[in-house]
Structure 1
Amino acid sequence: MNSTIDTILAHRSIRQFTNQPIDAEALDFILRSGLAASSSSLLQVVSVVRVTEQDKRDELAKMAGNQAHVSNAAEFLVFCIDYQRHKTINPKVQSDFAELALIGAIDAGIMAQNCFLAAESLGLGGVYIGGLRNNAKQVDELLGLPAHCAVLFGLCLGHPDQNPEVKPRLPIDVVVHQNQYQPLDLDKIAQYDQVMQEYYASRSSNQKQSAWSTEVTTKLAGESRPHILGYLHDKGLLKR
């Protein structure tokens, strides 16, 4: 392996941070790493809002489900799908196709992960905040997002003040299919459930007794932010 792969495989979500700020040069490297990410057809349809005002941070923490690390992290970045600048350049731009919404979400994820990996390579840590979509319209208004620009997720970054264990992932042969899609081997899921139960029981914090398959299928059996489609429609996105 090399240092890049070591960094990737050592990924953990960090939710407790020291008071130490991220210096300007490091933040510049992180953001430049994001800008260097792949972009479909070089459309570059992502904008990032760096939130530095504490009152806004506190409001965003509440909107995201009372996640204190949104307030406390050294940096908080909000990633947005953004066709507003393209509409400004040429009003004939049609941003409401479903394909363009997919491109925006995909590019934002790629860009954010570049930022995250750059931060981790510098000894920093962080966690994604999808909870912003709990109150997408209110977050949108707080950040002053224009039409054709919509909030997707946030990213906390800072100096770690905890050292959580690496969370086990599904086996490669469950996720990676060769040449065609393969039927799910439920025995392998049962084995992974056992691995996760042992992980949850032995980790240093937030111990619990739970099977991965039960948790995720229960979550997916209920509503998942049903207001999001209307929000995106109001922003001029994902209409057709």
Structure 2
Amino acid sequence: MTSDPHNLAGAYALDALDAEERTSYEAHLAECTDCAEEVRGFRETAARLGAAQETAPPSPLRRAVLDAAARTPQERPVVVELGGQRRPRPGWPVRLLLVAASLALVVGAAVFGLSQREEADRMEAQQAAITEVLSAPDAAMVSAPVDGGGTVRVVQSAEMGKAVMVVSELPRLDDDHDYQMWTQSGGAMHSAGVIPRDEQGSRGAHVMDDVTGVTAVAISVEPAGGSAEPTTDPIVLIETA
């Protein structure tokens, strides 16, 4: 686990940890009464939220979603390819090559350590955001099964203008396709990002920082890397307002 276990109570209560994280966290719970009490509180809250009935979207909504999405442009991410490493020129002294190799190892270790720290910070911030939404006084949860398998849950706080989408057990896709999340507002669809491939067949939680005015969330199967607008019918569409 790459984050402080004391920050994972909310994600654990939402069943948003993968198998390795869950095993590690449950070992921590056996020794930490504070976290165990916090998890119990979150589970009670989640149970109350889960009592809310999900609303089936009206039949014309799916077509309206796709029509609105077709009119909504989206900026595509900029991908910068890294150039290949240059080979050392023939004739370099062996000692110089060894020094260069040693320097590369030191730099590589430093970069790796920095990336690990950044990843830990990112996960810690994400878990804090999940906990914040889940514990909001007006938090409301809606869940729905996914066409083809899996489940999606959305916990939203209108007062905070934030939501958490939790995906569970989405079927694995081939390398040419990805799952993409969408939000609907003002009659238009907006990309909420591509679900990481390592969450396929597993679990994942995604914080949506600005859901003010969002009336529905959806997931569709898109070409690898995502699309500017949905190219297929959503496999799940949940009304949030």
Same fold (TM over 0.5): no
TM-score of the aligned structures, taking structure 2 as reference length: 0.24
Where relative contact order (Cα < 8 A, 6+ residues apart) is larger, the structure is 1
Higher Rg of the two aligned structures:
2
Q: More strand by proportion, 1 or 2?
A: 2
Q: Higher helix proportion, which one? A: 1
